[in-house]
Every structure is written in structure tokens, then in C-alpha cells.
């Protein structure tokens, strides 16, 4: 456990090796990257066993990085069950995604160049960025202090930029990458301000020490609330919550395995992780807690509703991620630490599978992503189809699949911890989740064959293998919640403030959850069964609502307006001000004025020799007179 810091070094080493020497390595070093991430995955298990053996901790291993003045910045590690769970999730998903990419990134070249099957020409760079992504996320979950956490946090953002913009010849990919980086960066401004403010008051970056001070009430409640909200701004950006979710749908420009990585393991989960890690800070402030819950619920509802209107398969999944992350924040706001982190794990597994399945579909259909042009794929691609259906059912909350258990936990937490408005909202969100999943499955996988989908074929084993493995996990992971053998996942993922928490089947909310999920699924299946008749009827009834959803609540144009008309306009105004006034008037002005005065003054200088002589003589006479009169 002391050596847990070594885990990120495997992918980090792979990144350095690939970044510098990929030209000289066989297959541009992709095998090295895969081997490194598998090593990291294997190295995470001893930490788990060690933790189970020693008790849940947390265990803190500080190490100095550098210090300035009285402040100490470290690269130490903090190991507790949350860390270990994240370590396993991140490395597991990374392994599967990297293996899957071995097949996926071969296909891409064939799709774009049309001639032969080969690796993408920049495959080495792809794997380098992947490795750095994994390494950063592992560092983030291991960090024992805020500065290291921020370092990893920013590196995660950088990797998302590099990978979303991987195909940088496409302007849309470059735009999406830029949008992702800048949008999350806006949240990060809040995060960094929050960190700086907190540290200015506590004098240490150490997470445990800071939380201890918060718990002992050494910070004023105003500062606590302010810091909590500022830090939450960072989480909102990274986890694509309202109002900073605009980058998420565009981020689909990256290669699909990257989306799987971002959505399941390495990026959007960072926000939830941050709030979970700092939960005592939020529990110390009622306002912050309610803000987290409200933003979570709002994002859950908005994401689900936008997923209902989207026609791009990957975007549906993206909005679904936003919605589920919202549920996690809702749970955290309700004090459901276990529920949120458990949902983080189950959702990660299922969402990774869904994205990989979607990638498999795109692979078969030459990058087609519009679900209206798919159909009947389940029969042609049985493994992909099964995986997708399983993932959809799991995220809809159908027992006994993984996400059902965690969703149920969230439901119980919300029912107990927050006022009924949140509960009602969450119940609506459950129905919506099931509804959009049913729609995606119904339209894309079943129904009649569309022309484009006729020659779809199943993918190779490197792509089917990870899908199958994730499908098994989706079925089984949820069962760890049950008290079989040990006290269930709740006893493992508890937070110190609330003690162990084992799973209990709630007699009211469990049936309600199941019924609502099934109702949503049934409704979706029925609505989209005979497309487009029933849906068109609805659309004409609620045209305004449909347009609102299709335009993603008009936040994109609003931000675009803000950037074009306010930020860039301010830039132009300031730049012009700088040139005309500060430079031309303020700086050149004195020079110009001196020149002008000189021009006037030189008028009396005639150039006639006699004029000068006369002036000298007159001067001498005047001087003589002056002396004479004075004396």
C-alpha cells in the first residue's frame, strides 16, 4: 500500500517512452502501452487486498515535492476504499479500452483511406495520450493533497483535449477539443480559486488535514460555503453538469474508445470523485450540499431529456452520462456517499460497455452514428447487440444488473436525506432514463433493416473480447452490494462520518424503482415501435419542448454569443484602446507634441546669417544695459 504511488508510473513511463521513441518501437509502441496499463491493473489488486487486510484506513503517505515559504507541496498518496475502488475501475476500463483500440484504430484507416487495413498513422501518439490519461487519473485518485490533485486534474483535461482532437485535420474535432478544454477550464478557475482560498486559511494543501479543520469548525461558515461552492465549480466543469455540460456532446468527435474512457473512467468521474473525497466540506455547509444536490438533479433531468431528443447514438450515451453523473451528485448532496461511489463504479462499467458497443456499431457502419439510419443490428451483430441491450437495461435500473443496485441506493438516500421535491424529480428522471434507453435500443438495434445497415458485420476478437468481459461484469458487479460472505459493498465504501452502511432492500422504494424503470422501458418500446407515427404525434403536440431539447436548452448559442459578442468583443475593444489611446495618445503623444512645438518654434529661424548676428548683438547690448542699469 505504501507503494501505491508506483501504479501511475506504469502508464506514465509508457507515455514518456511513446512520446519520445515511438518512431523506433514496433507498432509505434502500442504493445508497450497496453502492457503498461495491464501492469497497472494488476498492481492495483495488492493494494485492495492490503486494505481489506489492514482495515479501511485511510492511510496517508506524505512525500515532499517542493516547498515555498511556509507551504509544503507533496506528491504523497492517500489510500482509502474510495481510492482503491477508483484505481480498479480506472485501470480495468483502461485495459479494456486499450485492447479494444487495437482493433478499432486499425479499422479507422481503412474507413478513411479506403484501401487497406492498417494502424492509424498516429497510433503511437494515440497510445501515448491514452497512457498519460490513465496515469493522470490514477494520480488524481491517489493524491493526498490539493495541489497534486489539481495537477492531475489539469493533466486529465489536457489529455481529453489531445484525444478529442486526435483527428486534428477535422475542424470539428479541433473545435470540440478546444471547447472541452476551455469549458472545463472555466470550472477549474473556480477550483483553483477554491484551493487557494482554502489554503490561505488553513496553511496546508493536505486533504486530510484540511477536512479535519473543517470538521472541527476552524473555518468560518462563510468561507466553508464559499470554498465548497468554488471547488464544486471545478467538478461541474469536469463532470459536465449544468451549466457547463456543453462540451460533452461535442466531445464525441474523438475516437469512440476515447469516449468510453472519458465517460467511464478517466474524466467525468473526476468531479464526482472530488466531491466524494471532500464530502465533509459539503456536509459542513447546508447551502453547498443543497447546491450540489440541485445541480445534480437538474443535470440528471436535463441530460435525460436531451438524450430523448438526440439522434446521434454517441450523443445519446453522452447525455446519459451527464444524467447519471447528476444522480451521483444528487446522492452526494443527500449524504449518500456509498450510493454515489457505488453508482460511479457500476455506471462506469456499463457505460464503458455501451460506448464500446457503439464503437463496434460505427465500425460496422463506416462511422454512421445516426440511430435513424440503423436498425436490425441485433441480429447481424449478436455480441455487440447483447452488450448494448445489457448496458441499456442496467442503466435503466433493471434488476439484477449492476446499476440497479446503486440506483436503488441513491433512491433510498434521496428519500431519506432531502426534501420530497428532489425525490419526485429523481423518480421522473428514472422513468426518462429507461425511456431514452428503450428508444435507442428499439430504433438502432431492432426493427427493420435500413439499407445502410444491411452489410453490417461483427467485429474482431480484440473488440468483442472487452465487450463480453464488460457484459459479465455488468451482470455480476452489482451483486457485491449484497451481504454475501462479507457485509456488502456498503461496508467497504463507507465514509468515516457515517460509519459502515450495508445494503438493505427498502420495502417501499425498491419496488417503486423497479416498476418505474420497467414502465419507462415499456413506454419507450411502445412509443418507438411503429416509428415514426406515435412520436410524430407527440412532437407536433409539444413542438416547442422538442425544439428546446434538440437545441440542448439553447446553452450552446448562448455561450457562443457570450464568447463572440462579449469576450472577443472586449478583446477587440481593449486591443483598439491599447493602440489608439494607450499607445498613440499616451506614449506617442508626448513625442508628437514635442515635434509640433518644435515645428512652431523653428519658424523664426530664418537661416539668414545677418539675423543671427543681429540677435547676438541685440543680446549683448541688452546685457550691457542690464549690467549698467543694475550697477
Partner 1 sequence: MTLLHFQLLAAALFSLGLYGVLARRNAVLVLMGVELMLNAVNVNLVAFAAYRDIPIATGQVIAIFIITLAAAEVGLALAVVLRLFRSRGTADVDAIRGMRG
Partner 2 sequence: MSYFERHVLESLIYLPMLTALVLVFLPAKGRALIRTVGIASGALALVGSLYAFLAYDEAVGGFQLVRVYPWFAGLGIDFRLGVDGIAALMVLLTGIVTFAGAVVAANRDEDPKAYYVLLNLLVAGVYGTFVSTDLFFFFFFYELAIVPMYLLIAIWGSSSVFPTFSRTKEYAALKLVLMIVAASVLVWIGIIAIYVQADAGTFDIAVLAQAAADGRLDAGFQRWVFPLVMVGFGLLAGMWPFHTWSPDGHVSAPTSVSMLHAGVLMKLGAFGIIRVGMQLLPQGMDDWSLVLFIIGTINVVYGAVSALAQTDLKYVIGYSSVSHMGYVLMGLGTLDSVGFTGASLQMFSHGVMTALFFTLVGAIYERSHTRDSLVLNGLASRMGWASGLFILAGLASLGLPGLSGFVAEVLVFIGAFRTEPVLGAIGIAGAAITAVYILRLVGRVFFGTPDKQWDNLRDLNLREGIAAATLVVPVVAVGIFPAPFLDVLRPGVAAVLAGIGG
Partner interacting with residue 628 (select from partner 1, partner 2, none; CB below 5-8 Å by kind): none
CA proximity to 56, closest of 22, 33, 83, 36 = 83
CA proximity to 236, closest of 308, 293, 152 = 293
Partner interacting with residue 43 (select from partner 1, partner 2, none; CB below 5-8 Å by kind): none
Cell digits for 241? 453538469
CA proximity to 237, closest of 198, 205, 206, 194 = 194
Nearer to partner 1, 169 or 608 (CB): 608
CB atoms < 10 A from the CB of 16, how many? 15
CA proximity to 129, closest of 221, 209, 33 = 33
CA distance 280 to 495: 9
Nearer to partner 2, 46 or 571 (CB): 571
Q: Are 322 and 429 in contact (CB under 8 A)?
A: no
Nearer to partner 2, 596 or 621 (CB): 596
Element (H or E) spanning 612, and its range?
helix 609-630
Which one of 107-115, 251-259, 463-471, 613-621 is the stretch in contact with partner 1 (CB under 8 A)? 613-621
Instruction: State whether residue 64 is helix, strand or coil.
Output: strand
Q: Restricting to residues 51-80, which ones interact with partner 2 according to CB under 8 A?
A: 64-71
Write each residue from 150 to 169 as x if it is in contact with partner 2 (CB under 8 A), else as -, in one continuous string.
xxx-xx--x--x---x--xx
Partner interacting with residue 383 (select from partner 2, partner 1, none; CB below 5-8 Å by kind): none
Partner interacting with residue 543 (select from partner 1, partner 2, none; CB below 5-8 Å by kind): none
CA distance 98 to 91: 10
52 touches partner 1 (CB under 8 A): no
Write each residue from 562 to 601 as x if it is in contact with partner 2 (CB under 8 A), else as -, in one continuous string.
-----xx-xxx-xxx-xx--xx--xxx--x----------
619 touches partner 1 (CB under 8 A): no
CA proximity to 423, closest of 431, 433, 412, 432 = 412
Phi and psi, residue 464, nearest 5°: -70, -35
Partner interacting with residue 613 (select from partner 2, partner 1, none; CB below 5-8 Å by kind): partner 1
Which one of 343-351, 429-437, 486-494, 604-612 is the stretch in contact with partner 1 (CB under 8 A)? 604-612
Nearer to partner 1, 609 or 628 (CB): 609
Nearer to partner 1, 68 or 601 (CB): 601
602 touches partner 1 (CB under 8 A): yes
Beta strands per DSSP E along 51-100? 59-61, 64-68, 71-74, 77-79
Nearer to partner 2, 193 or 518 (CB): 193
Q: How far is the CB of 594 from partner 1 (least distance, A)?
A: 15
* Interface with partner 1 (CB under 8 A), residue from 613, 619, 622, 625: 613
595 touches partner 1 (CB under 8 A): no
Partner interacting with residue 602 (select from partner 2, partner 1, none; CB below 5-8 Å by kind): partner 1
Taking 3-state DSSP, the helix, strand and coil percentages for the chain, each rounded to the nearest 5, stand at 75, 5, 20
Q: How far is the CB of 612 from partner 1 (least distance, A)?
A: 8
607 touches partner 1 (CB under 8 A): yes
Calculate the CA dihedral of residues 384, 389, 391, 393 and round it to 10 degrees.
Answer: -170
Q: How far is the CB of 513 from partner 2 (least distance, A)?
A: 41
The CA–CA distances, whole Å, from 87 to 91, 202, 495 equal 6, 29, 17
Q: How far is the CB of 423 from partner 2 (least distance, A)?
A: 37
Q: How far is the CB of 430 from partner 2 (least distance, A)?
A: 36
Partner interacting with residue 610 (select from partner 2, partner 1, none; CB below 5-8 Å by kind): partner 1
Q: Restricting to residues 116-155, which ones interact with partner 2 according to CB under 8 A?
A: 147, 150-152, 154-155
Q: Are 104 and 463 in contact (CB under 8 A)?
A: yes
Nearer to partner 2, 286 or 584 (CB): 584
448 touches partner 2 (CB under 8 A): no
Write each residue from 187 to 206 as x if it is in contact with partner 2 (CB under 8 A), else as -, in one continuous string.
-xx--xx--xx-xx------
Nearer to partner 1, 586 or 613 (CB): 613
605 touches partner 1 (CB under 8 A): yes
| Residues 43-63: b if buried by 16+ CB within 10 A, e if exposed | bbeebbebbeeeebbebbbee
Partner interacting with residue 300 (select from partner 1, partner 2, none; CB below 5-8 Å by kind): none
Determine if the peptide bond prior to 271 is cis (ω within 30°): no
Tell me which residue has cell 515559504.
Answer: 69
The CA–CA distances, whole Å, from 80 to 61, 195, 214, 457, 504 equal 11, 22, 19, 44, 23
Q: How far is the CB of 270 from partner 2 (least distance, A)?
A: 14
CA distance 423 to 411: 8
CA distance 319 to 325: 10
Q: How far is the CB of 597 from partner 1 (least distance, A)?
A: 12
Nearer to partner 2, 176 or 281 (CB): 176
Residues in the chain, total = 631
Q: What angle do CA 428, 434, 440 make, to 5 degrees?
A: 135
Partner interacting with residue 165 (select from partner 1, partner 2, none; CB below 5-8 Å by kind): partner 2
CB atoms < 10 A from the CB of 485, how many? 7
Instruction: State whether residue 71 is helix, strand or coil.
Output: strand
Q: Restricting to residues 454-513, which ones interact with partner 1 according to CB under 8 A?
A: none
Burial of 296 (0-12, 13-18, 19+ CB in 10 A): buried
Q: Are 427 and 515 in contact (CB under 8 A)?
A: no
The contact set with partner 2 (CB under 8 A) reads 64-71, 147, 150-152, 154-155, 158, 161, 165, 168-171, 174-175, 177-178, 181-182, 185-186, 188-189, 192-193, 196-197, 199-200, 567-568, 570-572, 574-576, 578-579, 582-583, 586-588, 591
Tell me which residues touch partner 1 (CB under 8 A).
601-610, 612-614, 617
Amino acid at each position: 500500500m505504501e507503494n501505491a504511488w508506483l501504479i501511475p508510473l506504469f502508464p506514465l513511463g509508457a507515455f514518456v517512452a511513446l512520446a519520445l521513441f515511438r518512431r523506433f518501437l514496433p507498432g509505434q509502441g502500442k504493445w508497450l502501452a497496453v502492457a503498461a496499463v495491464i501492469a497497472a491493473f494488476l498492481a492495483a489488486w495488492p493494494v485492495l487486498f492490503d486494505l481489506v487486510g489492514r482495515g479501511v484506513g485511510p492511510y496517508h503517505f506524505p512525500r515532499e515535492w517542493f516547498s515555498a515559504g511556509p507551504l509544503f507541496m507533496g506528491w504523497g498518496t492517500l489510500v482509502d476504499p474510495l481510492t482503491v475502488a477508483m484505481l480498479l475501475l480506472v485501470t480495468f476500463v483502461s485495459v479494456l479500452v486499450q485492447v479494444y483500440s487495437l482493433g478499432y484504430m486499425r479499422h479507422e484507416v481503412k474507413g478513411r483511406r479506403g484501401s487497406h487495413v492498417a494502424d492509424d498513422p498516429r497510433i503511437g501518439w494515440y497510445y501515448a495520450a491514452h497512457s498519460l490519461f490513465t496515469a493522470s487519473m490514477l494520480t488524481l485518485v491517489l493524491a493526498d493533497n490539493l495541489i497534486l490533485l489539481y495537477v492531475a486534474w489539469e493533466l486529465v483535461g489536457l489529455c481529453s483535449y489531445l484525444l478529442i482532437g486526435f483527428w486534428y485535420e477535422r475542424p470539428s474535432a479541433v473545435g470540440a477539443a478546444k471547447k472541452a478544454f476551455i469549458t472545463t477550464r472555466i470550472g477549474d478557475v473556480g477550483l483553483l480559486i477554491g484551493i487557494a482560498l482554502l489554503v490561505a486559511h488553513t496553511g496546508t494543501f493536505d486533504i486530510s488535514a484540511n477536512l479535519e479543520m473543517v470538521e472541527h469548525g476552524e473555518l468560518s461558515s462563510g468561507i466553508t460555503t464559499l470554498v465548497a461552492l468554488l471547488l464544486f465549480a471545478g467538478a461541474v466543469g469536469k463532470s459536465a453538469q449544468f451549466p457547463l455540460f456543453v462540451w460533452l456532446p461535442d466531445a464525441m468527435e474523438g475516437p469512440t474508445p476515447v469516449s468510453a474512457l472519458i465517460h467511464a473512467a478517466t474524466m467525468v468521474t473526476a468531479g464526482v470523485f472530488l466531491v466524494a473525497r471532500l464530502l465533509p466540506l459539503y456536509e459542513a455547509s447546508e447551502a453547498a450540499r443543497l447546491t450540489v444536490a440541485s445541480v445534480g438533479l437538474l443535470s440528471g433531468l436535463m441530460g435525460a431529456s436531451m438524450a430523448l431528443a438526440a439522434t446521434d447514438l454517441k450523443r445519446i450515451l453522452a447525455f446519459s452520462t451527464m444524467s447519471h453523473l447528476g444522480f451521483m451528485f444528487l446522492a452526494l448532496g443527500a449524504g449518500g456517499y456509498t450510493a454515489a461511489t457505488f453508482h460511479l463504479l457500476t455506471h462506469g462499467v456499463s457505460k464503458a460497455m455501451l460506448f464500446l458497443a457503439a464503437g463496434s456499431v460505427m465500425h460496422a457502419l463506416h462511422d454512421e452514428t445516426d440511430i435513424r439510419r440503423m436498425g436490425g443490428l441485433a441480429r447481424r451483430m449478436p455480441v455487440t447487440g447483447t452488450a448494448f441491450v445489457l448496458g441499456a437495461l442496467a442503466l435503466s435500473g433493471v434488476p439484477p444488473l449492476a446499476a440497479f443496485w446503486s440506483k436503488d441506493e441513491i433512491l433510498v438516500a434521496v428519500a431519506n436525506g432531502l426534501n420530497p421535491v428532489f425525490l419526485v424529480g429523481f423518480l421522473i428522471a428514472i422513468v426518462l432514463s429507461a425511456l431514452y434507453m428503450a428508444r435507442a435500443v428499439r430504433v438502432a438495434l431492432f426493427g427493420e433493416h435500413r439499407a445502410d445497415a444491411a452489410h453490417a458485420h461483427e467485429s474482431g476478437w480484440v473488440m468483442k473480447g472487452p465487450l463480453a468481459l464488460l457484459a459479465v461484469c455488468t451482470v455480476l458487479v452489482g451483486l457485491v452490494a449484497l451481504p454475501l460472505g462479507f457485509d456488502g459493498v456498503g461496508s467497504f465504501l463507507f465514509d468515516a462520518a457515517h460509519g459502515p452502511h450495508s445494503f438493505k432492500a427498502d420495502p417501499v422504494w425498491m419496488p417503486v424503482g423497479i416498476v418505474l424503470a420497467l414502465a419507462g422501458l415499456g413506454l419507450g418500446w411502445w412509443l418507438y415501435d411503429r416509428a415514426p407515427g406515435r412520436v410524430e404525434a407527440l412532437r407536433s403536440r409539444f413542438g416547442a419542448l422538442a425544439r428546446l431539447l434538440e437545441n440542448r436548452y439553447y446553452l450552446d448559442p448562448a455561450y457562443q454569443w457570450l464568447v463572440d459578442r462579449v469576450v472577443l468583443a472586449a478583446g477587440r475593444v481593449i486591443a483598439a484602446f491599447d493602440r489608439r489611446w494607450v499607445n498613440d495618445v499616451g506614449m506617442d503623444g508626448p513625442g508628437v507634441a514635442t515635434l509640433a512645438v518644435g515645428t512652431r518654434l523653428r519658424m523664426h529661424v530664418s537661416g539668414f546669417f545677418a539675423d543671427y548676428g543681429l540677435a547676438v548683438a541685440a543680446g549683448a547690448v541688452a546685457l550691457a544695459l542690464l549690467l549698467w542699469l543694475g550697477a
